[in-house]
Structure 1
Amino acid sequence: MSNIFDGLRVIDCSSFIAAPGAATVLSDFGADVIKIEPPGVGDAGRNLSRLPGNPKTDQSYGWLLDNRNKRGMVIDLTQPDGQAVLHRLASQADVFITNYPLAVRKKLKLGYEQLAPLNERMVYASFTGYGERGAEASKPGFDMTAYWARSGLMDGCRPDAGLPPARALTGMGDHPSALGLFGAIMVGLYQRERTGRGSEVGSSLIANGFWANGFNVQAALCGATFYARPPREQLFNALTAYYRCRDGKWLILTLLNEERHWPVLTKCLGREVLVDDPRFAKQADRFKHSHALIAELDAAFATRDRAEWRQILNAAGLVFEIVASAEDTATDQQAIDAGVLVPFENDTLMTVDSPLHVAGVAKVKPRKAPDVGQHTDEVLREAGYDAAEIARLRDGKAVA
């Protein structure tokens, strides 16, 4: 079977991570995605991996991940000729994706009201920080602010209430939000199949952040009483806590079927005596004396390295996981076997696949992200421009 989106033309007129990420998912299933960048250094997302504090390497790894498979094109959208080029591309596209600020879209003539009349079958996918209605609709937003901080996740994920709020990792909200926008695009394409007409669809960082924290947001909406998160040593349930092993590495338990798994855990730890300890006899007792039980388990886990515990707990069928570092993920054999990590085409370098699959359908072999303007002439020719027109556009710096 061919790729699902073979023949689907997508214009990615967006920047950074979330909106481009939605286009990347489409490209993984065969869509022809044309990445539009401004003149000069291109999309600012090219340089995210070079910011202080991010992992250092000579490769622009963020750009590789979020713009693989795409063809790159430079258009100066501040020029009328550049806007005309974009309008022609949009008139031939199935999907148009943008996260430009609403006022900038109007100025550059790439808003829904400007592009929709050019192509009644086009799905216009809009991504914003704070939605498109309300007093803050024009407020700039990034995943750290609109997704992580505004949603309550930043406050709720601190290790305990006495510590500063937890800072998110780069793209931690953008990548889930990319799937939200991808889903909106799928709804738009399905609607087009039924009606023959495109539409405007969208998503936002604030919507995805609230959805990610939906369990607690819904609790707040129901007027629930919240409890401050205690330090690890004082957690409410010792069997869903995390523990440091002899080598300083961590793992986390999630033993929800306690009556079955509690005796198994004590045997694995060589602490069967705990089963007969009246403080820990029943679940209610373990909850009541959770601080004491955490101290007991701390002492037990400190006797072996994490690799040993991993083997022991896996063999016993207990629900747990290592607290992996980013370096750990790069060699995760299960992630490789399950197709979570896949190689770039004709390369040994791996990348993270989009987290969706369809049985019996192979995805596109990941191709390296484009250089700035790498495919400008190629795309212009496909859009119907002849050599003289392309030369004129280049001379006027409308494209590059």
Structure 2
Amino acid sequence: MENTPLLEGLHVVDIASFIAGPAAATILGDYGADVVKVEPPHTGDSYRGLSRMPPNPQVEGVNYPWQLDNRNKRSIELNLKSSDARSVLERLVRWADVLVTNFPPRTRAKLGLDYDDLSSVNPRLIYADVTGFGEEGPDAHLPGFDVTAFWARSGLMDFTRQRDAAPAINVFGSGDHPTAITLFAGIMTALYRREKTGQGARVSASLIAEGAWAAGMWLQAALLGGKPPRPVERSDPPNALANVYRTADDRWILLAFANEGKEVPLFLEAIGHPEAVEDPRFHDTVSRRAHAAEIVTLLDKRFATRPLAEWREVLDAAGLTYGVVQTLEECAHDPQLLANQIVVPIEDGSSEPHLTLNSPVHLDQEQKVPPRPAPDLGEHNEEVLSELGFSTDDIASLRTGGAIPS
């Protein structure tokens, strides 16, 4: 059918926790895959409680991170440590096209969840795992969060600060979500391979690899013996025309002049100082770099004379390249997000549904499944178990054996 979602009929088992792995499964669900999330009984995925941890914002009545990364899924509770759970797991694996996990290597081995364990049950299985620090090496067994493995370990945290300032914590999940895109890409590549070979595959991603890729331009220089720059001091940067400036209303503008030969004269005229073109400090790239601190002092005084809105009019009229350092509140209401369906309404039956972030992969020729509310813990226990062929008596036996909650 013309309106059939692209991945309808694809079965996904999500036994991962927190963000990167589950978010990859969410993207599959956005394109119509049937995603079953497997969670520990009673407590569920620990991510369910993350929004209560400072400094996360508090939103009354809405578990917003859970909704973002677990929409369009079904939830079952399964105690993977119980011997009785093995029959459920193996039926899930036979049912699945894709299985997503983020258990550390030692835990996977202890629970019998390694690729070799599960591919023997289903040779066509796409087994996707994400770790903090990769599968090999002295730190492979360590737990890794995006703030430790992506942000701190990669060197990004060291550089993204002012010189002599302490490293800063980034927005939670800022490394997990791009890692989820990488895992999604790997899963789709493996599915394409399966179409050609008929065989399943193992896909892996890690937060440390994603962080290294994000820092790749300057990390590549370090690999070749280059010395990456140290954190920049705003008042004495390498380039005063790739710097931030405070406006009269305490907002920040980022100048980003890639074509200085063209943009500098336009900029100086726009800010009301066309005569500065004749100033030796602005003469050419070498002079501007040599006198960067002096230029910053001049521009600081000039930008402090007008509010952000006026500067935007001035810079836009001159056709200059710049950015506004938006707050998260401003980004949430940015018209570009609505115009490009970066935010979309949750299909929850309400007259005024909340908006949620869309996954950033789009195909013009395919429609995504509208985002539905994320599941309650164990909401689909009986439904999924019945679909897997367990009878009422079987389900009662699983409860007695501790595989699923009573």
Q: Distance in 2 between matches of 1:258 and 1:45?
A: 47
Aligned 1:32-111 pairs, distance under 5 A: 32-58=34-60, 59-111=62-114
Question: Which residue does 1:314 correspond to in 2?
Answer: 316
* 2:343 equivalent among 338, 341, 359: 341
Q: Distance in 1 between matches of 2:316 and 2:101?
A: 45
Q: Distance in 1 between matches of 2:88 and 2:174?
A: 34
Letter of the aligned partner of 1:377 in structure 2?
E
Structure 1 gap segments, 5+ residues each? none
Q: Deviations over 1:154-181 (max 9, x none)?
A: 1121222x12223222111111111111
Aligned 1:21-36 pairs, distance under 5 A: 21-36=23-38
Helix, strand or coil: the match of 2:120? Answer: helix
Question: Which residue does 1:176 correspond to in 2?
Answer: 178
Say whether the 8 Å CA contact 2:16–2:102 is kept in structure 1: yes
* 1:189 equivalent among 188, 191, 201: 191
Q: Distance in 2 between matches of 1:343 and 1:268?
A: 41
Question: Which residue does 1:364 correspond to in 2?
Answer: 369
Helix, strand or coil: the match of 1:154? Answer: helix
CA-CA distance at 1:231 after TM superposition = 1.1
Q: Distance in 2 between matches of 1:35 and 1:268?
A: 56
Letter of the aligned partner of 1:111 in structure 2?
D
Indicate yes or no: 2:384 matched with 1:382: no
CA-CA distance at 1:311 after TM superposition = 2.9
Number of residue pairs the alignment of both structures matches: 399
Q: Distance in 2 between matches of 1:298 and 1:116?
A: 62
Q: Distance in 2 between matches of 1:340 and 1:230?
A: 32
Q: Distance in 2 between matches of 1:184 and 1:354?
A: 16
Aligned 1:208-227 pairs, distance under 5 A: 208-227=210-229
Indicate yes or no: 2:155 matched with 1:152: yes
TM normalised by structure 2 equals 0.95
Worse-matched range after superposition: 105-114 or 14-23: 105-114
Say whether the 8 Å CA contact 2:84–2:402 is kept in structure 1: no
Q: Distance in 1 between matches of 2:346 and 2:273?
A: 48
Q: Deviations over 1:90-148 (max 9, x none)?
A: 11100000001222222222221211111111100111111111222111111111111
Helix, strand or coil: the match of 1:327? Answer: helix
Question: Which residue does 1:283 correspond to in 2?
Answer: 285
Question: Which residue does 2:356 correspond to in 1?
Answer: 351
Q: 1:333 to 1:38 in 2, by over 3 A?
A: same
Say whether the 8 Å CA contact 2:93–2:99 is kept in structure 1: yes
TM normalised by structure 1 equals 0.96
Indicate yes or no: 2:404 matched with 1:399: yes
CA-CA distance at 1:308 after TM superposition = 2.2
Identity %: 46
Aligned 1:118-157 pairs, distance under 5 A: 118-157=121-160
CA-CA distance at 1:395 after TM superposition = 4.0
CA-CA distance at 1:232 after TM superposition = 0.3
Say whether the 8 Å CA contact 2:158–2:231 is kept in structure 1: no
Say whether the 8 Å CA contact 2:160–2:167 is kept in structure 1: yes
Structure 2 gap segments, 5+ residues each? none
Letter of the aligned partner of 1:298 in structure 2?
D
Moved over 6 A (4+): none
Helix, strand or coil: the match of 1:394? Answer: helix
